[in-house]
Chains A and B, each alone.
Chain A
């Protein structure tokens, strides 16, 4: 043995006494040095014989480590597989399984339960806050606000943030005349619009459990989801894609891009009455608003023209249109 020995402080019988005085609230660890000590004093409590080359507890520890390493490798492999799939979605991703797994038939409207959609109820008004720049009013959010008003009891409020000096009168009254006769907690949902100097529209709901949502398209998706429409994965993806196209190409894109979008819209609207399927979706709302704000509604293809008309026949769209004038 390479270390020097120290004479035990406690005599043989005393050590047993000492052991009895150990606190009982802690768990015991077996003495790994025990088999190296002179047999006499410790022998009474030693369970394994000192001749054993490998302690079973060490073996157990080793096997546990092996197991953990194995699981880590498995996890790593799974993550590698996932990342590969995401890099090349077209090659590896097979959508058929997911479509079959999806129980919902296309466009079923479920009764929306705000509590399940918006999380735990703390017994007070749930308030959605949207910050938007008055120089770029997010028309689609106003349409969605009207759509939400048709379904829920909504307390709407418009504020001006101190970062903007003046807001046009029509924007301050964009929710129409409010009748705030009831107390706040009788409403199902709060919708607070703040005109503020922000580069992009921004939505805040629960600051504890949710990060702010940025961008008109993303907020529109969130608000539309409150209406409780459920779609299968393919339709949902199609809707998502139209929303992005509307925001990035129709609203912010070049003239060439816009023309291309209008062509593909025309084709899509030739097959169905709305952009996706036979019911109004968030894609229609966002695309319609983007088209209104590009100010070129006159020179659009025939199917799109027809679709524009049918949008405008709906009250929420109509009221948003008045705001533009």
Chain B
């Protein structure tokens, strides 16, 4: 009985839909798994970006490459959602002139997250498609080829990973926890939220460079393997360096300053910074990207403070103008108020902050450092009064700053140092540096630092050094706080913390 064999054959086909199409299929040329691309040919085919599929392209035949985000077969047709970065479009395979029943089945059985090439006609839709970013059009598929097949079981579902954490009716629906995300970072990074976050982060770097280069800064590269701990000696990673030990740089501080002494006038650098702090908080990483600025000034370190603050304001403005789509995408999963700021930036003095805190009932000594809760409270108070998410706190007590901080000329208890805050959390710490070797030695001794260890540092100021100030910003923190996210791991692509070294 040939019928039975044929049916069995068909069953097998159902089990493995990726088998070559049966010979009797009239559409067999129009679908299938392509051989691995080994750069065999250079076809003239133009692939259209999914974000460019709009009403203007209606009725054109286009080629698109994307991932299968979801697929849903219904009788003689199959709906696919194709995804490319943060954008997605609905595609329809329906039995007809171009597609056979087998082809629809093939399309329906492609594993999620596989990469496909699709040729189809762009059609306007009468009703907006709610679930897609390209709401006005859909793609009527004429050919579909698998370029790279994903495994059938995914470690996490993308839809779960972008679901907002809501309370009420939808509570209890699956979400993905942080560790699962980080363990499967490659898939987590494909979500629209992660795509938006890291596109925006790249924007921050770009704007930082743009603004500073416009202001006449020079980008420098500093070594990350150094011979002595740059700040004190604690919290530093030791690495073996041939027959002896070396350290990973905690900040480019020393080298920035040496560049100033070498007459580069205004420098900045973007690079990794290492901190061996065993603190498992939402905002500490052991490796992060530092955006560092150092600048020589004429008479007052506020020249530098104004320059840095203006750079931040330009970044905020640029993000608001160029990355609105990304901000909206992240907001869908993590709703938050838009970032507010003042221009020029609000600059308060430490004693004013203390007065505000005292008025709110927090008693602190004049030379105490801000604790994390008071930092947050202060952020709320400043927001309430000035309605800004970004401000500068100037004139910190000398006692809580590193030895190279320049003391205030009139009050020996305070210093020419400043922190900058976004949404109540510190993002930048900076100061006028001591550029006089005599005073630097005094300050180091006062802090009980072994002069031998910082000899090279002090020596760099012996041959005339311009007065200078600067500061360092954490890129991940800026991204996190600008978007109102709650964990710095969300804005670090492959985060490093005391408990995580992979991926």
- Measured CB to CB, the residues of A under 8 A from B are 120, 122-125, 127, 129, 131, 159-163, 183-185, 192, 194, 196, 204, 206-209
Contacts and interface: CB of A to CB of B under 8 A. Distances in A.
A159 B355 contact: no
B198 interface: no
B159 interface: no
B340 A161 contact: yes
Contact of B340 (A120, A127, A162): A162
Nearest to B388: A161
A3 B359 CA distance: 59
Interface string B363-390: 0000000000000000001001111100
Interface in B385-406: 385-388
B340 A194 contact: no
Given A161-B388, A162-B339, A196-B387, A124 B349 contact: yes
A124 B354 contact: yes
B344 interface: yes
B386 A162 contact: no
Among B355, B356, B360, B388, max chain A CB count under 10 A is at: B355
A47 B343 CA distance: 79
Given A122-B358, A185-B351, A129 B339 contact: no
A207 B355 contact: no
Contacts of A194: 342, 386-387
Contacts of B320: 162
A237 to B, nearest CB: 32
B361 to A, nearest CB: 8
Nearest to A184: B349
Contacts of A123: 351, 355
Contact of A124 (B343, B351, B387): B351
A127 B353 CA distance: 12
A125 B342 contact: no
B316 interface: yes
B344 A124 contact: no
Nearest to B340: A162
B341 A207 contact: no
Interface residues of B, number: 27
Contact of A206 (B342, B352, B359): B359
B346 interface: yes
A146 to B, nearest CB: 22
A159 B340 CA distance: 12
Interface string B229-273: 000000000000000000000000000000000000000000000
B385 A207 contact: yes
A192 B359 contact: no
Contacts of A127: 352, 385
Nearest to A125: B352
Contacts of A160: 342-343
Nearest to B411: A183
B342 A162 contact: yes
A122 B354 CA distance: 8
Interface of B: 316-317, 320, 338-344, 346, 349, 351-352, 354-356, 358-360, 381, 384-388, 410
A159 B359 contact: no
Nearest to B344: A159
A194 B344 CA distance: 10
A161 B387 contact: yes
8 contacts: A122-B356, A123-B355, A127-B352, A161-B388, A183-B410, A184-B352, A194-B386, A207-B381
Given A184-B349, A204-B385, A124 B342 contact: no
Contacts of B386: 129, 192, 194, 204
A205 to B, nearest CB: 8
Contacts of B351: 123-124, 185
A274 to B, nearest CB: 35
Given A124-B349, A184-B352, A207-B381, A159 B342 contact: yes
Contact of B359 (A122, A125, A163, A204): A122
B340 A163 contact: yes
A127 B352 CA distance: 9
Contacts of A185: 349, 351-352
Nearest to B313: A162
Contacts of B344: 159
A124 B339 CA distance: 28
Nearest to A131: B387
Contacts of B358: 122
Contacts of B385: 127, 129, 204, 207
Contact of B355 (A124, A131, A162, A163): A124
Nearest to B414: A183
**Which 4 residue pairs across A and B have the least CB separation, nearest first?**
A122-B355, A124-B355, A159-B342, A124-B352
A159 B352 contact: no
Given A122-B354, A124-B352, A185-B351, 19 more contacts: A124-B349, A124-B354, A124-B355, A125-B352, A127-B385, A129-B386, A162-B317, A162-B320, A162-B341, A162-B342, A163-B340, A185-B352, A192-B346, A194-B342, A194-B387, A204-B384, A204-B385, A207-B381, A208-B359
A125 B341 CA distance: 21
A197 B341 CA distance: 13
Among B341, B358, B381, B385, max chain A CB count under 10 A is at: B385
A18 B360 CA distance: 49
Contacts of B360: 208
A122 B355 CA distance: 5
